[in-house]
Chain A
Amino acid sequence: DQQVKQNSPSLSVQEGRISILNCDYTNSMFDYFLWYKKYPAEGPTFLISISSIKDKNEDGRFTVFLNKSAKHLSLHIVPSQPGDSAVYFCAASGTGANNLFFGTGTRLTVIP
């Protein structure tokens, strides 16, 4: 059951550059998408979300892009900072659903 996929297990980026994390989904019923960040020994922390009626949502250094036709979303972090180093999970949900489907995560390392 791989309804949400993050094909890159890891990503390294230089400080100040852009980090792009990708996520693909298969279920066309998903209409709400979220990104969570997780540090070691902590639970996932909500970062940013987007509804399927939008194709972009921006919050400070973080922007999420949604391409419904490709069933693809991405998270852009610019400029990347060392404190952004964490595991990033993409998650998706359908209307009326009470559960999130998570991807396997991408470990981002921002190199000072």
Chain B
Amino acid sequence: EPEVTQTPSHQVTQMGQEVILRCVPISNHLYFYWYRQILGQKVEFLVSFYNNEISEKSEIFDDQFSVERPDGSNFTLKIRSTKLEDSAMYFCASSDRRNNEKLFFGSGTQLSVL
């Protein structure tokens, strides 16, 4: 079964550093998402992306965050200057349909900001 792939599985960084989290969505999917889960809390929506542009973003997704689809297969989340509170598990997801009918999630990148 096709799957969403995320790399790296763990990322440790110093506060203030830039990180790029990478995702390879399922190949025929058109809608891409980033979610995150802070330890012990709920999974939270960050951003959705379609047709090479952001279609929706949450309050969490401030100017420190950006997303890009640099080629036909990768989908990246960049955090420009990491803060301690950015420590979380970041999930990439993709879908071939609008309206979240069935999202496929990757296994996540655990980001630890020290």
Contact = CB atoms under 8 A, between A and B. Distances in A.
Interface in B65-107: 91, 93, 98-107
Contact of A98 (B4, B43, B55, B91): B55
B58 to A, nearest CB: 7
Contacts of A105: 42-43
Contacts of B93: 43
A44 B6 CA distance: 13
Nearest to A104: B42
B42 A46 contact: no
Contacts of A100: 35, 43, 45, 100, 103
B107 A97 contact: no
B42 A43 contact: no
A93 interface: yes
Interface in B35-66: 35, 41-45, 48, 50, 55-56, 58
Contact residues on B (Cβ < 8 Å of other chain), bracket: 20 to 34
Contacts of A91: 43, 100
A43 B108 CA distance: 6
Interface string A29-51: 00010101000011111100100
B58 A99 contact: yes
A43 B105 contact: yes
Interface of B: 4, 6, 31, 33, 35, 41-45, 48, 50, 55-56, 58, 91, 93, 98-108
23 contacts: A32-B100, A34-B100, A42-B108, A43-B108, A44-B103, A46-B102, A49-B101, A49-B102, A89-B42, A89-B43, A93-B99, A93-B100, A96-B99, A98-B50, A98-B55, A98-B98, A98-B99, A99-B33, A99-B45, A100-B35, A100-B45, A100-B100, A100-B103
Given A93-B100, A98-B48, 4 more contacts: A43-B4, A99-B58, A102-B35, A103-B42
